[in-house]
Amino acid sequence: MNIITENITIKNEVLTLTNQRAIYWEAQEALILSDVHIGKTAHFRRHGIPMPDGILQKDLERLKQLISHFKPKQLLIVGDLFHAETNSDMITFKSWLAQFEHLRLILIKGNHDRQSQRLMDDFNIEVLTTIELGPFILIHEHDENDLYSFTISGHTHPGVLIKGKGKQKLKLPCYQVNSKQLILPAFSLFTGLNTRSEPEASTSYAFTETSIFKF
């Protein structure tokens, strides 16, 4: 796995975008990501739709390598860490999480995070609705009525559509940034891409396994 980075400066803070669907904020020693959707594959299997077990493992391996690379002290997940009801994927995640006992894990609750507080306590996950950190508000879904804050959010699974010659088209995940917000791509590879909406006057930072480039 290649970790490609690009630094951007917002509100005098340097944020490191990566091509692995997460941001590192060195000043806060924080790795920030969104929409992991743990439990989604097990949820589909429970409802009779065959899904390979390796999807979650690949997401967790990418996250492990990001943690190893940046060595953050805290992991901030801006919503939808989990996807559905408690299922076998939760056991896999709990076992994986045990190797990072000194890592503070904070979940900004998303619309899919419906697990009990008892489970969150068992996983040693701090659960909040928003966090004000430095000049930013971390929240799952940006509030269009908030005219004053700069938010870091997820939820929309942003992507870009690149059109080539003829009927050739390519969809890529991206970060979307404007003067009021930064929207993270979905961390899980098992998510769709929303290429139809973007904030007004925004710049998109799309990425592949080998590069990051902006539109």
Using one digit for the tens of pLDDT, what is the confidence trace for 96-152? 999 998 999 999 998 867 777 888 889 999 999 999 999 999 999 998 888 889 999
**Residue 65's closest CA among 41, 35, 94, 33?**
33
Instruction: Kindly tell me if the per-residue pLDDT of 171 is higher than 70.
Output: yes
Report how far apart, in Å, the C-alpha atoms of 116 and of each of 84, 86, 164 are. Answer: 12, 9, 47
Q: How many CB atoms lie within 10 A of CB 35?
A: 24
52 pLDDT band, cuts 50/70/90, is low
The count of structural domains within the chain is: 1
CA within 13 Å, CB half, 102: 5
Assess contact for 150 and 137: CB atoms under 8 A.
Answer: yes
Instruction: Please give the share of the chain, as a percent, with pLDDT higher than 70.
Output: 90
The three state secondary structure string of the chain is CCCCEEEEEECCEEEEEECCCCEEEHHHCEEEECCCCECHHHHHHHCCCCCCCHHHHHHHHHHHHHHHHHCCCEEEECCCCECCCCCHHHHHHHHHHHHHCCCEEEEECCCCCCCCHHHHHHCCEEEECEEEECCEEEECCCCCCCCCCEEEECCCCEEEEEECCCCCEEEEEEEEECCCEEECCCCCCCCCCECCCCCCCCEEEEECCCCEEEC
pLDDT in the model for residue 40: 63
CATH number at residue 57: 3.60.21
- The residue range of the domain holding 123 is 5-214
Q: How many CB atoms lie within 10 A of CB 26?
A: 13
Q: What is the pLDDT of residues 179-209, one digit of tens each?
A: 999 999 999 987 889 999 889 999 999 999 9
Token pair belonging to 37:
């959707």
Q: What is the pLDDT of residues 1-50, one digit of tens each?
A: 999 999 999 999 999 999 999 999 999 999 999 999 887 655 455 545 55
pLDDT in the model for residue 42: 53
Average pLDDT (71-85) is: 89
Q: How many CB atoms lie within 10 A of CB 48?
A: 6
Report how far apart, in Å, the C-alpha atoms of 161 and of each of 58, 169, 195, 215 are. Answer: 24, 7, 6, 11
Average pLDDT of the chain, as a whole number: 90
Average pLDDT (74-86) is: 86
Q: Exposure of 45 by Cβ count < 10 A (0-12 exposed, 13-18 middle, 19+ buried)?
A: middle
